[in-house]
Structure 1
Amino acid sequence: MTIQWSRVAAPDLDAARLYALLALRAEIFVVEQRCAYQDVDGRDLLPSTLHVLGWRGQRLAACLRVLDDAAHGRTAIGRVCVAAPERGRGHGHELMRQGMQAALQRWPERPVYLSAQSHLQGFYAAHGFAPVTGPYLEDGIPHVGMTWRPARPPLS
């Protein structure tokens, strides 16, 4: 059974899908990574938020969210996660492709920012992201800010 990908705007996110994505994020970020942090931050249900969901049957295998960060002139991708049994199969890369397509379809002219766990910097670099900050701690885990910028035609 393959992963079935969908993009869901926050207003269309029903309770079952919201529960599944919050449960997967808690499983990975809170339990697996032993990081007590406030995951429910009020941004999952903003009208402009998009969620990319990857389902294997009835189980959520991967997810991320795409946020409108117009205050900083960019789009943001965050809460990128793949369930432990699904790792090592390329689903993280497909999740990022889906997320980037969603971001660029909605906001094509904006750079895309993410706060990457430092050990995943190479993973995000493979998708065109480059570091824009030095290392910093976020919820006790080393991170680096990374940005993908749209290609601009050369000045003539």
Structure 2
Amino acid sequence: MKDLKLVIKTTAELTSAELLMILKERTRVFVVEQHCPYQEVDDQDDEACHVMLQDHGQLVAYTRIIKHLDGINMSFGRVLVVMAYRGQQLGRQIVAETIKVLRQQFPGAPIKIAAQSRLRDFYGSFGFRPVSDVYLEDDIPHIDMLLEN
């Protein structure tokens, strides 16, 4: 897809329409599609930075940048591609853009993520390495992964 626009905004900068668009899609993917009832909108959204690929104002792919729960590392999560746009390498594109944003805004800071373990090789292709055993988070196997400079 060629006419995609990269949009980066803090929660405070989002319009109400953008916030609703993000929350609807996150709920669709992480609660409905993955059959995982949990508190999808959380306190980390208060200070998050949202990285979006948009097609004429419509959300196509998304990530949320946050401070890692360890309080030391930067992190990102809620990585999604809208169903109608899947199969076009947009997951790879949004993750690459997110890493680029993190490198620009927090130079030298390690990036630590809680990846679904089935995506270990995907994140490994960006240079992330496992730093934990597999554990259950909301009944989904996860693994902590770290990307250093």
- Scaled to the shorter chain, the TM-score interval is over 0.9
RMSD of equivalent CA atoms: 1.5
**Preserved contact between residue 51 and residue 98 of structure 2 (Cα < 8 Å):** yes
Shift in CA distance, 16/34, structure 1 to aligned 2, threshold 3 Å: same
2:36 alignment partner AA: C
Other-structure match for 1:117? 116
Deviation of the 1:73 alpha carbon: 1.8
Q: Which ranges of structure 1 fall in alignment gaps of 5 or more residues?
A: 151-156
Structure-2 change in CA distance of 1:71 and 1:137 (3 Å): closer
Q: Distance in 1 between matches of 2:134 and 2:4?
A: 33
Write the mapping of 1:5-16 to structure 2, written as runs, cut at 5 A: 5-16=6-17
**Match runs of 1:90-101 below 5 Å:** 90-101=89-100
Q: For the residues of structure 1 that align with 2:109 and 2:66, how far apart are their CA atoms?
A: 12
What is the distance in 2 between the residues matched to 1:116 and 1:82?
15
Tell which structure's C-alpha radius of gyration is larger. Answer: 1
Superposed, 1:134-149 pairs within 5 Å as 134-149=133-148
Distance 2:42 2:71 in 1: 18
Give runs of ≥4 in structure 1 deviating > 4 Å.
Answer: none
**Which runs of no fewer than 5 residues in structure 2 stay unpaired?**
none
> What is the 5 A alignment of 1:70-89?
72-89=71-88
The equivalent of 1:153 in structure 2 is none
Note closer, same or farther for the CA distance 1:146–1:71 as it changes in structure 2 (3 Å cut).
Answer: closer
Aligned residues of 2:68 and 2:113 also touching (Cα < 8 A) = no
How many residue pairs are counted as aligned between the two chains?
A: 148
Match of 2:46 in 1: 45
